[in-house]
Amino acid sequence: MAGLAAILTALARLTWRELGTLRSLTANNFFVVGALLLSGAGPFLWLLAGLLLLFPLSADPLSRAPSERVLQWPLSHRKRILLRLLSLALSPAAWLALVLLIYTAPSLTLAFVAVVTLIQTIRALASHRPRLSPLRLLPATTLTTKNLRQLLLHLDCWLAALISACGLFYRDPDALVVLTPLAMLALSTPANCLFSLDIPGGLTRYQLFPLSAFRILAAKNVAYLLLAITVSLPLAPLSGVASALTALAFGNYFSVIHPLAQRPWRFAAGSALVPGLMQSAALVAAGVAAARLPLWFVLIPFAAWLASLVFSSHLAARKWFGKL
């Protein structure tokens, strides 16, 4: 039993370490602005975010250990069954189910367990059958598609997609004007972390590419804008473009001057609170103004984005790539 206890202790430590990666929520624009402004008006938005958080929270603790090492553990068949049962108790999803069972109705607990089981099934199919992964539809054959695949590894992008899907049911123009900045707000933090999933090895590979820093950063911007336009299509596309350009006007500089390594399938974390709030306020204002003012207003965030792209690419050239 000593070996079984040692394995469970290691799994508990690993689970606690994984929970620490969720601290990125405290530096995420959507959650910071939501805590300040949407606490009374956005319970549905919190529900959408919580649904996405179930994907990292529902991971089987035993699956985090390499399968080759699991097979080498000197455990009997009965101890392996016991380890499987006890390891499920280390899952944060099991803790949440217990809380729901104590404080709410059993029917709600059963619904929660059904959702968690479905999520674990999806995770298992995606890991064992790569052909079922939606990212397979975006082969990393160009720099832009590679960056688009990276963006889709942030939960922020899927939150924005869920908010955009809500626009299919709320066709009121006033509601669309509100939902569009919210969707772009969900996408704003990944704009500050354009190189987050490239750290550290990806930056070395960029130095070997026969490409200028401007083209490397522009490819990331194009991927971000393609995603933002796709998300805003069911809502107010012009407002979405203005908000996305404003988010990139801030994000290009933040991505270069203070890059932060990020974990895939987590919500992105920004670099600082005050700049994030400034970025959030600017993109919401730009989105609302684009919906209310004439078409030429979009030229203002476009000019700000272009200036940010040129300036930030020069910073990146001096800081990382040694080339313009």
Query: DSSP letters of 165-224?
Result: HHTTT---HHHHHHHHHHHHHHHHHHHT-TTGGGTTHHHHHHHHSSS-HHHHHHHHHHHH
pLDDT, tens digit, 9 for 90 and up, residues 153-207: 888 888 899 888 888 777 667 777 778 888 899 899 999 989 888 877 777 788 7
What pairs with residue 148 in β-bridges? none
Of the pLDDT bands very low, low, confident and very high (cuts 50, 70, 90), residue 293 is confident
pLDDT value, residue 225: 95
Closest CA to 250 of 279, 280, 225: 279
pLDDT, tens digit, 9 for 90 and up, residues 16-49: 666 666 666 667 888 777 666 655 555 666 677 7
pLDDT value, residue 60: 63
Among all chains, which residue has been given the structure tokens 């990125």?
Answer: 24
Residues 235 and 178: their CA atoms lie apart, in Å, by 9
Q: What percent of the chain has pLDDT over 90?
A: 19
- Residue 199: phi, psi to the nearest 5? -80, 135
Taking every pair of Cα atoms in the chain, the longest distance, rounded to a whole number of angstroms, is 72
Closest CA to 323 of 208, 193, 195: 208
Average pLDDT of the segment spanning 122-142 = 61
Q: Is the pTM of this model over 0.85?
A: no
- The domain segmentation of the chain, as residue ranges, is 1-132, 142-321
Q: For the chain, what is the mean pLDDT? A: 78
Query: Among 89-93, 259-263, 302-306, 309-313, whose mean pLDDT is lowest?
Result: 89-93
Asked whether residue 58 carries a pLDDT value surpassing 80, the answer given is no
Average pLDDT of the segment spanning 95-106 = 71
- In sequence order, the 6+-apart residues with CB closer than 8 A to the CB of 196 are 190, 255, 259, 260, 261, 262, 268
Residues 26 and 270: their CA atoms lie apart, in Å, by 9
